Amino acid sequence: MEHTNFIRGGTALSAKDVEQNKAFSVEDELACRYAWDTGVGVGRYLEELKEGNIIGKKCRKCHRIMLPARLFCELCFRPTDEWVYVKDTGVVNTFSICQVNWDASRVEPGEKPHLPAVIEIDGASKGMGILHRLGEVDPKDIKIGMKVKAVWKPKRQRIGSITDINYFKPY
């Protein structure tokens, strides 16, 4: 089979060409707006977080309670069956002691490191959990299997986001 190259060659431009306006260019600031629909599963999950609840979905075929909630079971390839409230407690599945800020800058000497962790939530199936932060704990005291509890923002500050939980702390 013969392959045909449909890519046409271009003309290379130098910095000098650009400086001398030999190339057409446009400078503009875009004010892009977008909307994102959470859908039924994630929408309900976020609504419940705003109320201080964590909710998952159950598959009656494989008997899993999935978190975050989803409308279909990726193991059984079928719709999930019912909403199930789970606890706001769990155990640390894995964690990191992170010396890098969210903007990729280094944590300054003397500042506390960030403590991201995957929390397996009590009431959900094993392996189901939430990626969140740990707080009120010395990094050297964190252990896999450590029991933790959600620390919620005050109700009036909640917006229907995973950040309605400030962090998880040992208990």
Residue 120, SS3 per DSSP: strand
**pLDDT for res 19:** 83
| Closest-CA residue to 50 (of 162, 169, 138, 146) | 162
- Reading the block at residue 164, the tokens are 């309605």
Q: Is the pLDDT of residue 35 over 90?
A: no
**Average of pLDDT values for 143-155?**
98
Looking at 29-43, 49-63, 94-108, 140-154, which range is the least confident one? 29-43
**pLDDT for res 37:** 73
Residues written for the chain: 171
**Which helix H or strand E contains 130, and what residues bound it?**
strand 129-133
44 and 103 Cβ atoms separated by less than 8 Å: no
| Closest-CA residue to 102 (of 142, 133, 141, 77) | 133
